[in-house]
Structure 1
């Protein structure tokens, strides 16, 4: 056992990169999840059982508290048979959060290596998905592996685009970063997912406005010029494209949120538990990160989530590297905007929420210097 723990301690950064990189490639999900169960979870569990890796700063403890509280809400969840599933989901999320954060804080180079895995993984995944879409076109492109859901997949790839843009601004491996940005943006457009498109747009605007305002101005002028040229050359096609994008309306979001608020009002403080379903066929969760957290874990869960995001932003702001600071802040903004029109339970087993929610938080919290942690 001691030998295994020593091996895990020495190689957990590599194991983490293998597991998270594999999420962009391995299908189906249970196969990828099994890799996490075998490579990360046993070592993480043993170290936590022995008192190692537990964070001692408030920001990270808020993450632990959110996971524990969300898991605790299963005690009053009325859905029969769901309790063990959500306890397991909480254990997996806790293992990822603490192991990833401890690894990145322990090894200064580990974060840069993980960022490259997320960038290259996004590039490979986007190219693969686009290739399959061109071979068999459909109304909305679906991704591959953990990006197969159009909305969640577009949000995952959006995170890779944000990270690649930060590296591009630093002048690192520009050809690879440009390919990641171009393929990632095309991926998001082809999925037809409007929420992720707004999220990546907002994140890139903030990142470029802070670091390269002239590039932002040039990009804005170029986009307007391109749209103007298309309108002059073929106004009907542009209008048809806009009509197709708007024909889904609000995708019933306003109605779903209204139903969600009614359900939340029944147990506003402690929540109804993570297996709770809305009384609406086909749309049984709030499609909003804050409303979902409120429904499942109550106002207590919402306050923990918002406090965690605030501490993550504070940690990102403390990064001494100006480009990395704004890249991490843009990544958190991307998360926040993605959560406006989608996202559900914050604790799940290996899946898209790890890439969309927990990894941006871990990356931000790892940026804070040890002497400035509360």
Structure 2
């Protein structure tokens, strides 16, 4: 899908791995020029050149954030998007009394002040652009504090509060400010050799795997979220052409089970129109064009719709789904999706007081609010 981000300029901090790398990859796939900031530049970032410009910087220093913003503006002529993702956590196994002033300073600097300083440096450029966006990755610990990471929780709570206050000031000036607060995610922060699970395991005599399983069991979903799942939709178990949601729509009957039968024809037409737009925009050798060629060979329905030459169709914000637990749901859905990579962020809401609103609340309580992958 064309998200109308092509040509925009973004700064992503903590971009070398995990959530930051996934965000960088997704923005690059949409044609965004990304300044990807990390202490160490990794292969996955350099592989994304020239769309992605990696910058090595220490954002815990007073002048590090400003230098990164200056680099982005100098290289690309402005700034439209800031993603504050950098952060770190160190379990305090000996309790609150063991957390020194230096520990507090370090936690607040990397998890709070780095974002404050980067935002402060970026804001004049974002306001100048207009229709700009700041997205900050906070944590569920901002709302559900844990004594084992007490300094991290306090820093993330401050970060969330800062973003909320800032949104009220700069929203009227054309800059959206949003915060994402994920739970346990399959990144090195949790699962690395020096991550939370390994650190707790060393102190308790258990295994990192057992610690991770225990943490996952306490989350609403009962599992860790993968970075691609958290921001882009759960597609990581697919390979090859099947990674594309439009490909599955036309080749796998189970992909249609979550939609009402009356909507299947329109969904097919929209999928074809979006692929046509992507293939036209990206050229005959693009992944989108290769996907079209595969579907023309493999799906008679797709081939027939392709010959109709329909253009300009887009997904409606209003969607009707069939959930296996509660049946029909009438929802408002914002769908951000790349036709080739199946990268998507889905946000579902229902009209307050409606049957669908009550069903969503019930699914959340039951812990079955997600749809089967498809």
What's the TM-score, normalizing by structure 2?
Answer: 0.26
TM-score in terms of structure 1 length:
0.26
Find the structure with the greater CA-based Rg.
Answer: 2
Q: Which has the higher helix share?
A: 1
Q: Which has the higher strand share?
A: 2
Higher relative contact order (CA 8 A, sep 6+): 1
